[in-house]
């Protein structure tokens, strides 16, 4: 029996290189060795109140981009979270045993409270229970996500184990974050600090669908400094970030060349950023072409979504049936 894998991304816009290297590249590799469920977390995205048009458009972007990155709908189950109402039912059961105190201590909740003080809704507080429902509904054991999601997986294990203890069984397995590289990946942004993330602003992100012109413009604006002051100087964060990005998208000898120039204090950031832009354009090229090809193919997208919903519901229905029996819901 193949191990089960679940992961999802909230539809909040287009996918960027952080999403790709932190999550989607692992989805593509895992689909041949595991029983994979990859979904679009549209219920989660309701916490930020998107308009109906934005919501549909963003779901469509992620579906197209999943396919363009190489997730094969015949190998993996690709579905839209809201097409599987069993997830919402499991979320309700898990919420009964999720405590205010622990939910309030979640780092992502605390970040959101700071970022959107005018919209601290119960959905934000219970985000970890909905995520646990996504994972437990298929009894997954591996979850390909970036480093920032580790605490959510701890919650998932806590809620699964608590359910098991409460109903005196070992129904839910424990799920762990997974990445093919040794450490969970963190792709830096272009704004000189922190990770590539939509919440760090447009300037931080290179989207998979960005045109060559846009990529060149974003790189020309990427944050640098006045240059190294001594030989072999430790790189400050904005510079280290750009080198880390080069390590991801450029050939090894290009990276070595610019490392040497930096260490000899002979680097010209203009040239360095131009080279990084060209290598990103080459990297994005084939994905971008496939995005363009797929985005107009509504018939195919509908077929993929319907087929995925059917397969995901089959698995989810089985879990809900068993969970209901364990809880004690019985028909007369
Ligand atoms: P964003 O921060 O732009 O809102 P999400 O939080 O929606 O992105 O992330 C979706 C997935 O992509 C998650 O699995 C997350 O761990 C991964 N991810 C996002 N940004 C990065 C990054 N900069 N480096 C590594 N993984 C990332
Ligand atoms: N919380 C994840 C993120 O922000 C998205 C997500 C929701 C998810 N449910 C999940 C990821 C289940 C993996 C498994 O990126």
Which residue did the predictor score with more confidence, 21 or 156?
156
**Cα(149) to centroid of ligand 2, in Å?**
7
Residue 171 Cα to ligand 1 middle (Å):
30
Mean pLDDT of 212-216: 98
Q: Give the percent of the chain with pLDDT over 90.
A: 91
11 CB near ligand 1 (under 6 Å): no
Is 241's C-beta closer than 6 angstroms to any atom of ligand 1? no
Q: Which CATH superfamily is domain 198-292 in?
A: Tyrosyl-Transfer RNA Synthetase (1.10.240.10)
Closest residue (by CA) to atom 15 of ligand 1? 146
- 4-185+298-327 belongs to CATH 3.10.129.10: no
What is the C-alpha to C-alpha distance for residues 128 and 97, in angstroms, rounded to an integer? 12
- Nearest ligand to the C-alpha of residue 11? 1
DSSP 159-228: HHHHHHHHTTS--SPP-EEE-SSSSPP--B-SSSSSB--GGG-GGG--BTT--HHHHHHHHHTS---S--
The answer, yes or no, to whether residue 182 has pLDDT greater than 80, is no
d(CA 152, CA 109): 11
The H or E element containing residue 8 is strand 4-9
Ligand nearest to the Cα of 58, by number = 1
SS3 274: helix
Which residues, 6+ apart, have CB-to-CB distance to 67 below 8 Å?
Answer: 73, 78, 290, 294, 304
Distance 278 CA to ligand 2 centre (A): 31
Residue whose CA is at the smallest distance from ligand 2 atom 8: 8
pLDDT of 35 strictly over 70: yes
Residue 323 has pLDDT above 90, yes or no: yes
Q: What is the mean pLDDT of the chain?
A: 96
Residue 185 has pLDDT above 80, yes or no: no
Distance 207 CA to ligand 2 centre (A): 19
Contact 194, 184 (CB under 8 A): no
Which ligand 2 atom sits nearest the alpha carbon of residue 131?
9
Instruction: Give the number of the ligand closest to the Cα of residue 190.
Output: 1
Positions marked catalytic: 112, 195, 198
Atom of ligand 2 nearest to the CA of 6: 14
Residue 19 C-alpha to ligand 1 middle, in angstroms? 5
Q: Where in the chain is the domain with CATH 1.10.240.10?
A: 198-292
* 50 touches ligand 1 (CB under 6 Å): no
Selected residue with higher pLDDT from 198 and 278: 278
Which value, to the nearest 10 degrees, does the dihedral of the CA atoms of residues 139, 140, 145, 149 take? 40
Which ligand is closest to the CA of 153, given by its number?
2
The ligand 2 site (C-beta within 6 Å) comprises: 6-10, 41, 44, 131, 134-135, 143, 145, 149, 152
Element housing 36 (H / E): strand 35-40
133-148, pLDDT tens digit by residue? 999 999 999 999 988 8
Residue 204's nearest CA partner among 238, 175, 160, 176 is 238
Cα gap 124→67, rounded to integer Å: 29
Q: Which residue lies with its CA nearest to atom 7 of ligand 2? A: 131
Higher pLDDT, 147 or 273: 273
- 234 Cα: distance to centroid of ligand 2 (angstroms): 35
**pLDDT at residue 184, rounded to an integer:** 64
Q: What is the enclosing helix (H) or strand (E) of 144?
A: strand 142-144
CATH 3.40.50.620 boundaries in the chain? 4-185+298-327
- Backbone Cα Rg of the chain: 22
Asked whether the predicted pLDDT for residue 300 surpasses 90, the reply is: yes
**Strands ordered across the beta sheet of 77-80:** 77-80, 35-40, 4-9, 142-144, 176-178
CA 226 centroid distance within chain: 34
Nearest atom within ligand 1 for CA of residue 195: 23
Short-list 70, 8, 82, 17, CA closest to 242: 17
């Amino acid at each position: 029996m193949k191990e089960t894998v679940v992961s999802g991304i909230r539809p909040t816009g287009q996918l960027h290189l952080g999403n790709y290297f932190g999550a989607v590249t692992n989805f593509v590799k895992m689909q041949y060795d595991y029983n994979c469920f990859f979904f679009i977390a549209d219920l989660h995205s309701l916490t930020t109140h998107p308009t109906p048009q934005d919501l549909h458009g963003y779901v469509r972007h992620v579906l197209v981009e999943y396919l363009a990155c190489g997730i094969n709908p015949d190998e993996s189950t690709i579905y839209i979270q809201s097409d599987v109402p069993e997830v919402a039912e499991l979320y309700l059961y898990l919420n009964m045993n999720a405590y205010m105190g622990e939910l309030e201590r979640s780092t992502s909740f605390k970040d959101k409270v700071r970022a959107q003080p005018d919209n601290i809704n119960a959905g934000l507080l219970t985000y970890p229970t909905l995520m646990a429902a996504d994972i437990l509904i298929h009894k997954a054991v591996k979850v390909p996500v970036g480093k920032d999601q580790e605490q959510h997986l701890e919650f998932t294990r806590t809620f699964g184990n608590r359910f098991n203890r409460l109903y005196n069984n070992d129904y839910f397995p424990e799920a762990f974050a997974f990445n093919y590289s040794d450490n969970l990946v963190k792709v830096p942004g272009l704004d000189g600090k922190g990770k590539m993330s939509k919440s760090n602003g447009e300037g931080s992100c290179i989207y998979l669908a960005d045109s060559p012109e846009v990529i060149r413009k974003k790189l020309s604006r990427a944050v640098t400094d006045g240059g190294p002051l001594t030989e072999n100087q430790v790189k400050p964060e904005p510079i280290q970030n750009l080198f880390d990005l080069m390590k991801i998208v450029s050939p090894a000898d290009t990276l070595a060349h610019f490392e040497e120039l930096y260490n000899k204090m002979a680097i010209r950031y203009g040239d360095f950023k131009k080279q990084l832009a060209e290598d990103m354009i080459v990297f994005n090229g084939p994905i971008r072409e496939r995005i363009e090809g797929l985005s107009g193919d509504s018939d195919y997208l509908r077929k993929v979504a319907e087929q995925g919903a059917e397969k995901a519901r089959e698995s989810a229905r089985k879990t809900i049936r068993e969970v209901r029996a364990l809880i004690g819901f019985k028909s007369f």
